[in-house]
Copies of this chain bind each other. A is one copy, B any other.
Amino acid sequence: MTQPIPEAAHALLDDKPTGHLATLRPDGRLSVNPVALLFDGTTVRVSTTKDRKKYRNLCADPRVALSVPHRNNPNLYIEIRGHVEMADDVDRVFIDAIAQHYMGQPTYDLDPPDAERVTLTIVAEQVSMPRIPLSKNPPNAADGA
């Protein structure tokens, strides 16, 4: 059931993008928020904390969708639809890897002392790439209109 992430998206996913993660709230509304992410060549993972709405939402309903635009050209993007598997990041290994990748520092030091980190592994059931070619178009959102 898991779909592979196409080669054409690997560079985009490695380039410190900001993804937008959609979840379903217990009140029935949709939610979508910016997230940092790590891609290990196969799987996309995101970090959150147990006090975030995102965590509450995913405990009740693991369905997600993730839109990841190219950092310098939002017309180029990958969409991943599926669900998450959650695991406690007890030693903060994953959030520190995020800090190393995005911030160039060994640890993520912006959490309050009691923050409980959780790693969200995105199980890709469906993957879409944009129909527009992955070329060097100028940054411009209107093709996504």
Contact = CB atoms under 8 A, between A and B. Distances in A.
Contact of A18 (B21, B36, B69): B69
Interface string A2-45: 00000000000000111011111100111111111000000000
How would you classify the secondary structure of chain A's contact residues: helix, strand, loop or mixed?
A: strand
Interface residues of A, number: 48
Chain copies in the assembled complex: 2
A86 to B, nearest CB: 15
Contact of A141 (B25, B102, B143, B145): B102
Contact of A30 (B64, B99, B141): B64
Interface string A36-67: 10000000001110000000000000011111
A29 B82 contact: yes
A34 B82 contact: no
Nearest to A69: B34
Contact of A22 (B32, B102, B145): B32
A65 B142 contact: no
A23 to B, nearest CB: 7
A84 to B, nearest CB: 11
A33 B75 CA distance: 10
A98 B145 contact: yes
Interface of A: 16-18, 20-25, 28-36, 46-48, 63-67, 69, 74-75, 77, 79, 81-82, 95, 98-99, 102-103, 108, 110, 125-126, 140-145
